[in-house]
Chain A
Amino acid sequence: MMANEVANRETTGEAAFRAEVAQWMAANLTGEFACLKHRGGPGDEDAHPALRKAWERRLAEGGWTGLGWPRAHGGRELPVMQQVIFHEEYARAGGPGRMGHIGEGLIGPTLIAFGTEDQKSRLLPGIRNGTTFWCQGYSEPGAGSDLANVRTRAERDPATGDWRVSGQKVWTSLAHASDWIFVLARCEPGSQGSRGLIFLMLPLDQPGIEIRPIRQMGGGAEFNEVFFDGARAAAADVVGEAGDGWRIAMALLGFERGISTLGQQMQFTHELEWIAQAARANGASRDALLRQRIARAWAGLRVMRYNALRMLAGAAQAGADGGTALQREALIYKYYWSNWHRDLGQLALDVLGPLANVVDAADARRTRLQQMALFSRADTIYAGTNEIQLNIIAERGLGMPREARGQS
């Protein structure tokens, strides 16, 4: 339905690249990997983790990792539009949720920007080859929306220069399936807020690290608590300087903004199609109110698509102007998509009707919609809650007064 809709005018080279991605996906997402179609991703991360790691290696062999990375670091240095096309075609083909996302999309670019030569040569190849998997340790029990309220401590061992980490991280996606974790820890005792922090990388398989799954309301467990009790981070595994952790952590969150967005939207499109098909199958599509809500959801998809194209154009424009401030369309995006998706979850359950409450593993489509509906409740909470997003929009987008800070 949307084959020619991505860029309203695509260059010949872009169209050829699109076809190349589609062909590769069709040729490779088969056989042992066929069961991965439309699996994984937020809300479904428990699906086939080992096989999805094998899939990451297959992607790497095909040259589909590190698309935006510099060639010097094993990347392909593709233009933004081709990266966008890759994500979109990948999702259109039902490509599984990426186990390598945190490595490739977050820590990789961070190391390329801030890492030492030693870190780059040791750590980037495993990310690019789909053999080393990463997770992110930012949130803590006392540091949710207030991300800078980090309590995890890092103490320098004067003998070796290594760092000993103690404390607790939480909501760590896929920690149980990862090899490395990066954490934000307090290296200056008595410091507060965003000062006195350090950005450290640690191998997960070591004494002093314990990973405990958190069971979500949908029954799955893709998040974890990670406990540190004197776990060791080598002196060579500090990114930036001790005390400079907040700047590194924030820069990491700014990478890759917008590029995978159209891929996410393609998955949303699949979900809406599943809902519309369920509505046709069970007669809900004849209900005037449900028909209107399905049509409204489709209108929201169009908003997100054009908003994403504005974001990409706006980022390019800002880059050309030398600015880094988020444009209005970028400021609203997380709030918009997460609330849209949460509403989509409610719509899915309403379309399913009384059967929405009945579990039947044999009905894969219904199971998927039920899981989506339950997990979508997390969308408006993680990565900046609705309330935090509205603060940011009002303060940065409208110049309204900043929130008062209490004493911590």
Chain B
Amino acid sequence: MEFSLSVEQRMIRDSARDYLAVHSDSAAVRRATESRPAHDDALWRAIAGELGWCGIALPEDAGGAGLGVPELALLQEQLGQRLACVPFWSGLCLAAPALQASLGPVDSTPWLARIAAGEARATLALPEDGGYWFDCVAVHADPAADGFVLRGAVAQVFDAAGADWLLVPARLADGAPALFLLDLGDLGADDRIVLSPLDTIDRTRPLSALRLDGLPVPSVACIARGEAAAHGLAQAWWHGALMLAAEQLGAAQQCLDLTVVYAGERIQFGRAIGSFQAVKHRCAQMMVAIEAARSAVHGAAQAWASTGPETARRDIAAARVTADDALRFCAQEAIQLHGGVGFTWEYDPQLYFKRAQAATHWLGGTPAALAYIAATGPDAWREA
């Protein structure tokens, strides 16, 4: 069994926790979100540089540390706890696995090497209706003289501002799946690609709308097609869903931590409010939701590592449901139990509530996860 964390895993978790507590505290998050799009550049330089987090789960051939999904989930949890304003999830949990799965271990290495070294930031334009299959893709690639012409729109792309590479799933003229890699540095001045930053309620994860108005791209921009591209999108989606659940788990934990501290300090009727059962029990329920999510997230991560991504999908769906429940519940309770200051701009619960509301819809959220479980349910469900 792999359920106690190894010494190395504990080190990864604890050092990330300690580092982020100092370098991505509430003040840092607030500073980063004052400018839009929010980006904590100093933190990102550290993550991509001295801390080496970008390479943690990437192959050693690409200069990474070659660790696995469980270790990456531990990092994601800590980043989620601090709402760190860095493009880590979009780059390392969505774009990198898309490259890895669609190009294969050899061909993806040059791309992953630059990501691992922190030299290139990538993001993935996920189809907007929350699915991981190409039927949802609304970008079309028509053949042109030297390559393709891209048309279509994606309503929300994570962390596109400042990204070097934009991965765009598109459908070819015959309907076949394809994955394009656009180098945004080269395309900066082209008005046939428009990335418009969106004003968002949750300011900690920037979103942009993507429009492609007949953008010509060379044929090398199409880095995968057919089964490989479909596999890449699916793999990225499930990997991203698991890592999003880890992030939600961390954010829920911070809601509880903030609340327990506050309930221990706030005095009413001559007692700390944390001594009232009405308050205490709500905190205990938050902890139940959080530990349930922790079991589901780490269980799904272990399943991915030991039995493979395909068989882990239902577990990921379960983790997504459980972590989504936990964060929504904990963010709501954090506001309630902070009382009057809970709904102010000054106190932190609002930051987590907004993230909870945004994240609940990413990658299809709970409805997509439940639909997946119901549709693929265990064999015994089909008898009768």
**Using a CB–CB distance below 8 Å, which chain A residues touch chain B?**
1-2, 7-9, 81, 273, 276-278, 280-281, 291-292, 294-296, 298-299, 302-307, 309-310, 312-314, 316-317, 328-329, 331-332, 335-336, 387, 389-391, 393-395, 397-401, 403
CA distance A401 to B267 in the complex (A): 13
Is A277's CB under 8 angstroms from B284's CB? no
- B259 nearest CB across to chain A (Å): 9
Q: Given A328-B287, A387-B281: A280 and B321 within 8 A (CB)?
A: no
Tell me the residues in window 332-384 of chain B with beta carbons closer than 8 Å to chain A beta carbons: 367, 369-371, 373-374, 377-384
Cβ of B35 under 8 Å from chain A? no
Q: Given A302-B318, A397-B287: A1 and B277 within 8 A (CB)?
A: no
A-B contact count (CB 8 A): 160
Task: Kindly list chain A residues whose C-beta atoms are within 8 Å of the C-beta of B384.
Answer: 276-278, 280-281
- What are the 10 A-B residue pairs with the smallest beta carbon separation, nearest first? A306-B299, A313-B3, A299-B318, A401-B275, A295-B373, A307-B295, A393-B284, A313-B4, A8-B306, A390-B284
Task: Kindly list chain B residues whose C-beta atoms are within 8 Å of the C-beta of A332.
Answer: 287-288, 291-292
CA distance A276 to B380 in the complex (A): 8
Is A1's CB under 8 angstroms from B378's CB? yes
- B12 nearest CB across to chain A (Å): 17
- A92 nearest CB across to chain B (Å): 12
Of A304, A391, A393, A395, most buried by chain B (CB within 10 Å of CB) is A393
- A347 nearest CB across to chain B (Å): 13
CA distance A287 to B339 in the complex (A): 39
Is A310's CB under 8 angstroms from B3's CB? yes
CA distance A249 to B287 in the complex (A): 28
Q: Given A1-B378, A298-B318: A8 and B284 within 8 A (CB)?
A: no
Is A8's CB under 8 angstroms from B2's CB? yes
Task: Kindly list chain B residues whose C-beta atoms are within 8 Å of the C-beta of A291.
Answer: 370, 374
Q: Given A277-B383, A299-B321, A302-B299: A309 and B280 within 8 A (CB)?
A: no
- A79 nearest CB across to chain B (Å): 12
- A275 nearest CB across to chain B (Å): 9
CA distance A294 to B378 in the complex (A): 11
29 contacts between A and B (CB under 8 A): A7-B1, A9-B1, A9-B2, A277-B384, A291-B374, A292-B374, A294-B381, A296-B370, A298-B373, A299-B317, A299-B322, A302-B299, A302-B319, A303-B292, A305-B299, A306-B3, A306-B296, A306-B299, A307-B292, A310-B3, A312-B3, A335-B284, A389-B284, A390-B281, A394-B283, A400-B263, A400-B280, A401-B272, A401-B275
Task: Kindly list chain A residues whose C-beta atoms are within 8 Å of the C-beta of B318.
Answer: 298-299, 302-303
Task: Kindly list chain B residues whose C-beta atoms are within 8 Å of the C-beta of A8.
Answer: 1-2, 302-303, 306-307
B interface, over-half SS: helix
Nearest chain A residue, comparing its CB with the CB of B286: A398
Is B291's CB under 8 angstroms from A307's CB? yes
Tell me the residues in window 249-295 of chain B with beta carbons closer than 8 Å to chain A beta carbons: 256, 260, 263-264, 271-272, 274-275, 277, 280-281, 283-285, 287-288, 291-295
Is B280's CB under 8 angstroms from A390's CB? yes
Cβ of B315 under 8 Å from chain A? yes
Q: Given A273-B380, A332-B287: A303 and B4 within 8 A (CB)?
A: no
Q: How large is the interface on B (under 10, 10 to 19, 20 to 34, 35 or more residues)?
A: 35 or more
Interface flags for B299-341 (1: CB within 8 Å of A; 0: not) read 1101100110000001101110110000000000000000000
Task: Kindly list chain B residues whose C-beta atoms are within 8 Å of the C-beta of A303.
Answer: 292-293, 295-296, 299, 318, 322
CA distance A307 to B1 in the complex (A): 13
CA distance A294 to B375 in the complex (A): 11
Is B307's CB under 8 angstroms from A398's CB? no
- A1 nearest CB across to chain B (Å): 4
Is A296's CB under 8 angstroms from B321's CB? yes
- B371 nearest CB across to chain A (Å): 8
Task: Kindly list chain B residues whose C-beta atoms are within 8 Å of the C-beta of A331.
Answer: 287, 291
Task: Kindly list chain B residues whose C-beta atoms are within 8 Å of the C-beta of A397.
Answer: 284, 287
A interface, over-half SS: helix
- B309 nearest CB across to chain A (Å): 14
Is B296's CB under 8 angstroms from A400's CB? no
Is B3's CB under 8 angstroms from A292's CB? no
Is A313's CB under 8 angstroms from B1's CB? yes
Cβ of B298 under 8 Å from chain A? yes
Is A314's CB under 8 angstroms from B370's CB? no
Is B287's CB under 8 angstroms from A393's CB? yes
Task: Kindly list chain A residues whose C-beta atoms are within 8 Å of the C-beta of B3.
Answer: 306, 309-310, 312-314
Is B285's CB under 8 angstroms from A390's CB? yes
Is A398's CB under 8 angstroms from B283's CB? yes
Pick the residue among A276, A281, A299 that contacts B296 (CB under 8 A).
Answer: A299
- A346 nearest CB across to chain B (Å): 17
- A352 nearest CB across to chain B (Å): 14
Is B4's CB under 8 angstroms from A400's CB? no
Task: Kindly list chain A residues whose C-beta atoms are within 8 Å of the C-beta of B380.
Answer: 1, 273, 276-277
- A85 nearest CB across to chain B (Å): 12
- B284 nearest CB across to chain A (Å): 4
Nearest chain B residue, comparing its CB with the CB of A327: B291
Of B260, B274, B299, most buried by chain A (CB within 10 Å of CB) is B299
CA distance A80 to B144 in the complex (A): 65
Task: Kindly list chain A residues whose C-beta atoms are within 8 Å of the C-beta of B294.
Answer: 310, 329
CA distance A387 to B282 in the complex (A): 11
- B297 nearest CB across to chain A (Å): 9
Task: Kindly list chain B residues whose C-beta atoms are within 8 Å of the C-beta of A399.
Answer: 260
Is A400's CB under 8 angstroms from B260's CB? yes
Is A391's CB under 8 angstroms from B321's CB? no
- B296 nearest CB across to chain A (Å): 5
Pick the residue among B291, B306, B315 that contacts A328 (CB under 8 A).
Answer: B291
CA distance A329 to B287 in the complex (A): 10
CA distance A8 to B306 in the complex (A): 6
Is B295's CB under 8 angstroms from A329's CB? yes
Kindly list 7 other residue pairs between chains A and B, CB separation below 8 angstroms, not including A276-B384, A306-B298. A328-B291, A331-B291, A335-B284, A390-B277, A394-B287, A400-B274, A400-B283
Pick the residue among A9, A273, A306, A400 that contacts B381 (CB under 8 A).
Answer: A273
Task: Kindly list chain A residues whose C-beta atoms are within 8 Å of the C-beta of B377.
Answer: 276, 294-295, 298
Task: Kindly list chain B residues whose C-beta atoms are within 8 Å of the C-beta of A401.
Answer: 271-272, 274-275, 280
- B384 nearest CB across to chain A (Å): 4
CA distance A206 to B7 in the complex (A): 57
CA distance A317 to B272 in the complex (A): 35
Is B283's CB under 8 angstroms from A299's CB? no
Is A310's CB under 8 angstroms from B298's CB? yes
Nearest chain B residue, comparing its CB with the CB of A339: B288
CA distance A391 to B285 in the complex (A): 10
